[in-house]
Amino acid sequence: MFDLKLKKQLIRFIISGCLAVFVDCMFYYILSYFLDISIAKAISFLIGTIAAFLMNKYYTFEQKKKSFLEAIKFLSLYLFSLGANVVVNKLSFIILPYVFDNFEIRKLFAFLFATATSTIINFLGQKFWVFRLKEEKQ
C-alpha cells in the first residue's frame, strides 16, 4: 500500500513529532502558569516548531542542503498551522467545560486536539510542499 520511502518518512515524522510535541507540551505547561493560555500556547508551539524543523529537515526528509526557500515555506506552513493550533486550543476551552469540570483535564485535551490538527496540516504541508521539490530531484 505505502511505498517504502513514504513509510520510512511517516515513521520518522511520528518520532520527530513526538519529540517536538514533548518540547511544545513542557513549555506550554510551564508558561501557562505565568501567561495567558493562548500566549503560552503560541510560544510553546513556536519553540516546538524550531525543534520540528531541525528534526524533519535532517532526519525525516533527509535534506542536507541549506535552502532559504525551504525555510520560508516551512515558516509559512507553521504560521498557518500555528493559527489552526491556537484556534483549536481556544475552541476546545470553550467546548470542553461542558464535558470536564477539571481545568487541568480540559487543558490536556485542548492541547491534544490542537496538536492533532497541526500535525495533520504539518505532515501534508511538508511532504507535498516544503520538501517536495528536493525529493523529486533525488
Residues above pLDDT 70, as percent of the chain: 94
pLDDT 10s digits, 45-73? 889 888 988 898 889 988 888 788 888 99
pLDDT digits (tens, 9 = 90+) for 88-108: 999 998 888 778 788 888 888
Quote the number of domains for the chain. 1
State the pLDDT confidence band at 1, using cuts at 50, 70 and 90: low
Q: How far apart are CA 32 and CA 37, in angstroms?
A: 5
Provide the residue range defining the domain that includes 103.
Answer: 4-137
SS3 33: coil
pLDDT at 135: 44
> pLDDT class for 138, splitting at 50, 70, 90?
very low
pTM of the prediction? 0.68
Instruction: For residue 52, count CB atoms less than 10 angstroms from its CB and return exposed for 0-12, middle for 13-18, buried for 19 or more.
Output: buried
Judged by DSSP in three states, 60 sits in helix
Residue 132, pLDDT above cutoff 80: no
Q: Is the pLDDT of residue 76 over 50?
A: yes
* Range from 30-34, 93-97, 102-106, 123-127 that averages highest in pLDDT: 30-34
How sure is the predictor about 77, in pLDDT bands with cuts at 50, 70 and 90?
Answer: very high
pLDDT for residue 2: 60
